[in-house]
Amino acid sequence: MRRKLTVLLILITTNIFSQTKNETEVWIVEKYNQFERVNSLSNTMDLFFENDFLYYEYLNAFFKIKIKDITEIEFKKEKFDNDDKVGWISLWIRFDKGNLLYKRAGENEFSKSTDTAFKIPLSSDLEKDEYQKRLEKALLHLIKLNGGNAKIKKETF
């Protein structure tokens, strides 16, 4: 009896202190807006969540994926060329073929894409104060809250 009560207490305490789906989504959007990589080509970049979907707009391309369908996330350092000293960090979102919905500007409906990934460019400032690790943790938490099970892809060496 004591063991059952202890387990129940642990489960209740964990649920009380973990962030809700909405709190997690709001935090991720805030950090995206804080660390968004400014692109000189366009200012049409946006990230938001609605009805268990992640929506991302980048240069007149619109991506829509069910949060639970995300299977892997990866942060990669990228540069234009060898002269680029700062570069940026891209968040790669990966999923199984057929799970991404995509449309171009001017199209009314989303259609299925054969892509298995898209990337979200972020400022290299994301590396400061452990925000990359915190964003990884928040994304995995959100995916889990939506019934998914993603992992973080890391370099082998």
Pick from 12-16, 58-62, 137-141 the range whose average pLDDT is largest: 137-141
Instruction: Give the model's pLDDT for residue 42.
Output: 55
H-state helical runs in the chain: 2-17, 21-35, 131-145
Confidence of residue 20 (pLDDT cuts 50, 70, 90): very high
Instruction: Give the model's pLDDT for residue 17.
Output: 53
Q: Average pLDDT for residues 14-24, to the nearest whole number?
A: 77
The domain ranges of the chain are 18-152
Count the alpha carbons within 13 Å of 32 in the hemisphere toward its beta carbon: 23
Q: How far is CA 149 from the centre of its chain?
A: 13
- Give dist(CA 68, CA 147) in Å, integer: 5
Chain segment 97-116, per-residue pLDDT in tens: 999 999 998 899 999 999 99
